[in-house]
A and B are shown apart, each in its own frame.
Chain A
Amino acid sequence: MKKILFLTITFLFTQFPAQEKILFWPKGEMPNSKILKSKTQGKQEAKEAELFAFLPPKAERKKMSVIIIPGGGYSKLTYDEGAFQIAKWLNTLGISAFVLNYRLPTSTDLIQKETAPLQDIQAALKYVRKNADQWEISPSSVGVIGTSAGGHLATMVSNISKDYTELKGDWETISTIPDFAVLLCPVIDFGEFAHIGSRNSLLGENVSSEKINEYSMQNRVTEKTPPTALFHAQNDTAVPAMNSILYFEAMTKHQVRGALFIFPEGGHRFSVTNKNELNENWKKLCADWLKSIDNQNKK
């Protein structure tokens, strides 16, 4: 009897976790994997990209949702502080959140390393839009939030219109471009103001100036870039504030609507709890900005 009770409790817990883990690539269709391609599965399992779903209670749930892209210089994922915390905070605003653990370009399983993170975020966007109904969210109000190198990936998916997912059938008609983006101390430039660690992990040590230009995301902004809000600290020594400024300049030039907030202090960190009173405002500014985007969608 006790055992049954125990099983029931365990079962309840697995049914109602705070977050649900989703393997969003259809089985065997994740591209760019040596293991999956060689079909020597069984011996070795390919590590797949994952989404962690954080959903607000139905009564408080808005139509808007966000995919959170953690940072970590393209060599690790700072998913707990950087991403899970932001997801919980978004839930308090009624916004559904999905934390993306993408394949890192440093993985030995990859065939072409610099496209893997992009393939994963593109497929994640398609997946959330495809299944929007089931969560009662809107497929046309799906944004991205990226921190640090995750901000770089957020601007890649915002601006690269080519679909790298290789997904077929009804997947093909679903757009990979997010409806809006929030960038927290993002890596943007791979030239003068580059975070060298991110660049080396994504493109390798001896990279051509063409490749640098191509992956410096301020150069990819067009009038089609979705509305974007940027947050940075002036004293960020890892990723200089010029990264955000260059992107916002390109946005203004192409008449992309958005906001830029640079705080004097804070270092390379924007999180849900801040030591600095002034920086605490980022949450209010971000929440109000998301609200203004939401209102526009309703118009």
Chain B
Amino acid sequence: MKKIILIVMISILNLLSAQQKISVWEKGQMPNSKGLQLKIEEEKEGRITQIQEAELAAFLPAKEERKKMAVIIIPGGGYHHLTYDLGGYSYAKWLNTLGISAFVLNYRLPTSPDLKQKEIGPLQDIQAAVKYIRKHAQQWGISPEQIGVLGTSAGGHLAAMVSNISTDYTELKGDWTHFSTIPDFAVLVSPVIDLGTFAHKGSRSNLLGENASEEKIKEFSVQNKVSAKTPPTILFHAQNDPAVPVMNSILYYQAMIKNKVKGALFIFPEGEHNIGISNKAALTDN
């Protein structure tokens, strides 16, 4: 009897938990996998270094307060780990207070031994995630045409990739092909953009390897990918960011202006590489 109560309680807790975990890929459809069995590795609290498959954590506002808009949050971590709490859950909770549904994406890292072609693993996962949310939008009462992305640091690089790369790398068939992989808007926080002069070296070597060719660097420097079709984008950066130079955001915004993409750029004097939901500097907290 006690056991039954316990089981019931656990299932209730699962049902009512603040966030719900969703597998992005249907069983057996995840591309670019060698089929290895990997453990989830968390090197320290809030910092995952390895996952088996892409996963979304859904954060939904109360039905009465829920708007049509939703955002997929792409955590950073230099393409080496996922800061899913600080760069993910924290933003999700804040968006919920605005009535916006949020989904935190834990994507396969290019450092995973399971990937056949490492540099497209993260892109495949975010593309499939955008499709997944659009496909299931109705069930959450959100609009499939108001799905944005919010990326921090290397997650900003991935957000810019999915904003600009029109090739569908998901290999999904059937009715999945109806859904666009391009988000409706993007928010970039201290994003990695350039992989050349102003590169965050760690992100580059994790994504492209130590000796990336000039061509590869140019291809993955996402300011070069901006076109008139890039979705509206807002960028935030701190001028004193020692990890990802502020020029990353400036180069992307300049490309947006050139291609008449609507958006905004906010650069604060302080905040370093830590613009988050609660900030030390009152100005940056805006």
Q: Which residues of A line the B interface, CB within 8 A?
A: 227, 234, 240-242, 245, 248-249, 252, 257-264, 278, 281, 284-285, 288-289, 291-292
Contacts and interface: CB of A to CB of B under 8 A. Distances in A.
B191 to A, nearest CB: 16
Contacts of B239: 252, 257-259
Interface of B: 232, 234, 239-240, 246-247, 250, 253-254, 257, 262-270, 281-283, 286
Contact of A260 (B234, B240, B267): B267
A234 B266 contact: no
B250 A261 contact: no
30 contacts: A227-B269, A234-B262, A234-B263, A240-B257, A241-B257, A242-B254, A242-B257, A245-B257, A248-B250, A248-B267, A252-B239, A257-B269, A259-B239, A259-B267, A259-B269, A259-B283, A260-B265, A261-B264, A261-B267, A262-B266, A264-B232, A264-B234, A264-B264, A278-B264, A284-B286, A285-B283, A288-B283, A289-B269, A289-B283, A292-B270
A284 B286 CA distance: 8
Given A227-B269, A234-B264, A257-B239, A262 B286 contact: no
A249 B286 CA distance: 22
A2 B254 CA distance: 68
B241 to A, nearest CB: 10
A264 B263 contact: yes
A281 B240 CA distance: 22
B269 A249 contact: no
A263 B234 CA distance: 9
A263 B264 CA distance: 5
A248 B282 CA distance: 21
A263 B253 CA distance: 12
A77 to B, nearest CB: 30
Contacts of A261: 264-267
Contacts, number: 65
A245 B234 CA distance: 15
A262 B253 contact: yes
B269 A292 contact: yes
Contact of B250 (A240, A249, A263, A285): A249
A288 to B, nearest CB: 4
A234 B257 contact: yes
A240 to B, nearest CB: 8
Contacts of B240: 257
Given A252-B246, A292-B282, 15 more contacts: A234-B264, A241-B257, A245-B250, A249-B250, A258-B239, A258-B269, A259-B239, A260-B267, A261-B265, A261-B266, A261-B267, A264-B232, A264-B263, A289-B283, A292-B269
Contacts of A259: 239, 267-269, 283
Contacts of A281: 286
Given A252-B246, A288-B283, A262 B265 contact: yes
> Which of A248, A258, A264, A291 has the most chain B CB atoms closer than 10 A to its own CB?
A264
Contact of B253 (A245, A257, A278, A285): A245
Contacts of A242: 254, 257
A249 B250 CA distance: 8
A121 B253 CA distance: 33
A285 B232 CA distance: 22
A284 B266 CA distance: 13
B274 to A, nearest CB: 17
A252 B247 contact: yes
A288 B282 contact: yes
A219 B234 CA distance: 28
Contacts of A257: 239-240, 269
Contacts of A241: 257
Contacts of A245: 250, 253-254, 257
A82 to B, nearest CB: 23
Contacts of B268: 259
A227 B234 CA distance: 24
B278 to A, nearest CB: 15
Contacts of A227: 269
Contacts of B250: 245, 248-249, 252
A118 B204 CA distance: 47
B31 to A, nearest CB: 36
Nearest to B240: A257
A242 B270 CA distance: 22
A18 to B, nearest CB: 30
A291 B282 contact: yes
A262 B253 CA distance: 10
A248 B268 CA distance: 11
A261 B283 CA distance: 12
B286 A288 contact: yes
A245 B246 CA distance: 12
8 nearest interchain CB pairs? Answer: A288-B283, A260-B267, A262-B265, A264-B264, A257-B269, A264-B262, A259-B269, A292-B283
